Amino acid sequence: MIVTAHTVRFDSLPLDNGAILGPVEIAYESYGELNAAKSNAILVLHAFSGDAHAAGPGPEDGKPGWWDNMIGPGKAFDTDRYCVICSNVLGGCRGTTGPASINPATGCPYGLTFPVITIGDMVRFQRMLVDSLGIPRLLAVTGGSMGGMQALEWAVAHPDRVVSAIPIATTARHSAQQIAFNEVGRQAIMADPNWNGGDYYGKEPPARGLAVARMVGHITYMSDHSMREKFGRRLRGKEAFGFDFEVDFEVENYLRYRGSQFVGRFDANSYLYISKAMDYFDLTGGQASLAVALQPARARFLVISFSSDWLYPSYQSQEMVRALRARNCDVAYVELQSSYGHDSFLVDVAEQSALIRGFLASTFEKLA
Amino acid sequence: MIVTAHTVRFDSLPLDNGAILGPVEIAYESYGELNAAKSNAILVLHAFSGDAHAAGPGPEDGKPGWWDNMIGPGKAFDTDRYCVICSNVLGGCRGTTGPASINPATGCPYGLTFPVITIGDMVRFQRMLVDSLGIPRLLAVTGGSMGGMQALEWAVAHPDRVVSAIPIATTARHSAQQIAFNEVGRQAIMADPNWNGGDYYGKEPPARGLAVARMVGHITYMSDHSMREKFGRRLRGKEAFGFDFEVDFEVENYLRYRGSQFVGRFDANSYLYISKAMDYFDLTGGQASLAVALQPARARFLVISFSSDWLYPSYQSQEMVRALRARNCDVAYVELQSSYGHDSFLVDVAEQSALIRGFLASTFEKLA
């Protein structure tokens, strides 16, 4: 599989808040080869804490990408047939312009002077990338969680550029509970004195606040069942309770580890900006109903949710599917049985792969 | 309704960790009159952040107690018939000895030198209180959430002192997910530099960390449905998004308010100690099974869970009920339909009241 990693620079990007940001850079990787007609490109959109490294060995550390079990030769997104592209989102911290980038007006990192961005802004930036690659239409746009939001946004905001969309474990808009979990993460970061109003670059970062935010996230990504299976009440390296506030249970150790590990690879301000973009996302966009808002969409849809995903529960996918059907869109919906909670789209991929493989093949055939 | 508030002092309390704590004080309130036979006493056990003020107007601020809709003349716990007693738990911060109390050995607050306590310790302390009141047997022990754990502990550890037990929205032991949410709260507190290893009395308390911990808690106490009903995506005091990190959504405002409000009435170290006691609680206590562990229990049981409670899901109550039935205990179980999540036991009390009223009446009749 051919893996290429690039960064593309643009002079300016118009934003939903009315501002124009520039210059801007977008980091992306691609896997597989674009055909002569440029009709086999699939844009994979990452979730909250993901990045452009979706598959293959990492350019720096050799670690597999976040969807390596889905992208590659013979896999769901078959790189022998398709050219898969994945870019880091606007506001991110893995190569694409975000709050840690240098503000050319000041020569210092943006910090909190970075504009509050939206899923629409992320997708507009991706479209500039796709345009620059000379790809007239994407065979598919797909992703889980926030990646699914971007896929939906593509289908509605850029309908002539999308043949099909595969939104997975996602929603047309965050519920109060989803906003609440994001807000707790933001508050944990902003409560850390090292956050310092977002101005911490070159100083001590708000590592403890960011770690707490990540711990909350991890609980919501798993299911009660999968946590019982994986940890139960097993103690960590001891036979009896310590009667102190060190780690007693395996699950405590796991959360602390995941929290501290995250700090090394993610920027706290990116956490704020990207989570805010998710909360702002509302596909209805001021229209009377979701069905009305979906009117521009021309894509074929495959919508997937997971039975144990309590963070993005199936009823949210079903709401989308009803609205798409109300517009006579070509939409297939499957709720997959899985015990892994929201993480299912990343880890429990056998059935998901079969579904997507078939959907892509039939979409590609119809094109020809 | 006669409300009395008292504090009782004891020289020493033996703890599960082997230490002896003393002197110790326990704050309690009582509602209604003890009959001549002292056979009409009901011990109400509070949840994580509760206190001894369960009913009637507060002695300081006149505010109604946390179960005021359940305790009073003609209510579920009818103070015209029963004498209801509620004490603040060991480790608490509302009148009973806890980490903010003065350590007589040093003349300073205990802070983290306070011993790590258990639900068993809390209940042993309550038994000393009940003994001091000359009450031979409690007509009922009852409470929701951590209060339910204490009711279960009473029934197993002090079976000759309990006629009936009503554990509500609770579990015989925390799952990995329940431990995980508590651990995140503890980490949020300990991440606050003002926490200072638990030594902050007379200085700035770890208010921001405690507020974050409370916000996480509040999300888990409500249901996805009740949050949608109460907040949805409604904006707070604005027509459009602010494109900043101030409050946009009502739910954000609610969480911030609840977080900051909590800081004024709760001690961060008590949060650590009490949440740890909940995580340590395991009614099986090293026995081969829950059914074996329940062998000493002699009480009648009424077990209640709520359909939308995802923090203490019904399957945990059902596990208890199966074990009690396996021991031929007299046990009734009802899963009440409610949309309020874990908070249901506090707010959605109509059916709960009817159930408890009938159960108490039949228990009292059998005694006579």
ipTM of model: 0.96
Q: What is the mean pLDDT of each run of 10 residues along chain B (368 residues)?
A: 87 97 97 97 98 91 95 98 98 98 96 98 98 98 98 98 98 98 98 98 97 98 98 96 97 97 97 98 94 96 98 98 95 98 96 98 92
Instruction: Decide which of B214, B249, B276 is a domain's last residue.
Output: B276
Pairing of strands B108-109, A102-103: unpaired
Residues B173-199: b if buried by 16+ CB within 10 A, e if exposed = bbbbbbbbbbbbbbbbbbbbebbbebe
- Residue B1's pLDDT is what? 74
Task: Answer yes or no: do B192 and B269 share one domain.
Answer: yes
Q: What is the CATH number of the domain that holds B98?
A: 3.40.50.1820
The predicted model gives A275-299 an average pLDDT of 95
Count, residues in chain B: 368
Does A368 have pLDDT greater than 80? no
The predicted model gives A253-279 an average pLDDT of 97
Does A5 have pLDDT greater than 90? no
Reported confidence tier of residue A134, pLDDT bands at 50, 70, 90:
very high
Element (H, E) at A367: helix A350-367
Kindly identify which residue of chain B lies nearest to residue A113, measuring between CA atoms: B244
Cβ–Cβ pairs < 8 A, chains A and B: 156
- CA distances (Å), B264 to each of A35, A186, A238, A291, in order? 64, 22, 37, 46
Nearest Cα to Cα of residue B49 among B125, B146, B127: B146
Task: Answer yes or no: do B246 and B271 share one domain.
Answer: yes
Task: Answer yes or no: do A237 and A216 share one domain.
Answer: yes
Nearest Cα to Cα of residue A10 among A118, A127, A164: A127
Enter the tokens of residue B166.
């009503």
Reported confidence tier of residue A286, pLDDT bands at 50, 70, 90:
confident
- Residue B5's pLDDT is what? 87
Residues in CB range of A50: below 8 A, 6 or more apart: A66, A147
Active site (annotated) includes residue A342:
yes
The one catalytic residue in A248, A309, A343, A348 is: A309
Q: Is residue B243 within 8 Å of B249, Cβ to Cβ? A: no
Task: Answer yes or no: do B148 and B208 share one domain.
Answer: no
Among A224, A244, A255, beta carbon nearest to B175: A224
Does A1 have pLDDT greater than 80? no
- Residue B181's pLDDT is what? 98
Q: What is the CATH number of the domain that holds A236?
A: 1.10.1740.110
If contacts are CB pairs under 8 Å, which of residues 119-148 in chain B contact chain A?
Answer: none
The predicted model gives A283-308 an average pLDDT of 95
- Residue A59's pLDDT is what? 75
Task: Answer yes or no: do B298 and B149 share one domain.
Answer: yes
Q: pTM for the full model?
A: 0.97
If contacts are CB pairs under 8 Å, which of residues 43-82 in chain A contact chain B?
Answer: none
Task: Answer yes or no: do A48 and A149 share one domain.
Answer: yes
Contact B186 A259 (CB under 8 A): no
Q: Distance between alpha carbon A163 and the CA centroid of its chain, in Å?
A: 20
Enter the tokens of residue B303.
């077990």
Does A2 have pLDDT greater than 80? no
Does A97 have pLDDT greater than 90? yes
The domain of A225 spans: 178-276
**% of chain A surpassing 70 pLDDT:** 100
Task: Answer yes or no: do B267 and B297 share one domain.
Answer: no
Task: Answer yes or no: do B214 and B103 share one domain.
Answer: no
Contact B310 A224 (CB under 8 A): yes
Residues A5-40: b if buried by 16+ CB within 10 A, e if exposed = eeebebeebebbbeeebeebbbbbbbbbebeeebbb
Task: Answer yes or no: do A265 and A308 share one domain.
Answer: no
Name chain A contacts of B111, Cβ cutoff 8 Å. Answer: none
Enter the tokens of residue A122.
């992320």
Residue linked to tokens 């989102």: A89
Coil, helix or strand for A316? helix
Contact A175 B227 (CB under 8 A): yes
Reported confidence tier of residue A61, pLDDT bands at 50, 70, 90:
confident
Residues of B taking part in catalysis: 145, 309, 342
Does A315 have pLDDT greater than 90? yes
What is the rounded CA–CA span in Å between residue A299 and residue A169?
A: 18
- CA distances (Å), B102 to each of B27, B111, B210, in order? 16, 9, 22
Task: Answer yes or no: do A161 and A303 share one domain.
Answer: yes
Instruction: Decide which of A276, A292, A317 is a domain's last residue.
Output: A276
Instruction: Decide which of B230, B252, B276 is a domain's last residue.
Output: B276
**% of chain A surpassing 90 pLDDT:** 96
Task: Answer yes or no: do B28 and B164 share one domain.
Answer: yes
pLDDT digits (tens, 9 = 90+) for A184-232: 999 999 999 999 999 999 999 999 999 999 999 999 999 999 999 999 9
Name chain A contacts of B181, Cβ cutoff 8 Å. Answer: 219
Task: Answer yes or no: do A333 and A209 share one domain.
Answer: no
- Contact A366/B at CB under 8 A: no
**How many domains does chain B divide into?**
2
Contact A116 B187 (CB under 8 A): no
Among A180, A215, A282, beta carbon nearest to B184: A215
Q: Is residue A253 within 8 Å of A233, Cβ to Cβ? A: no
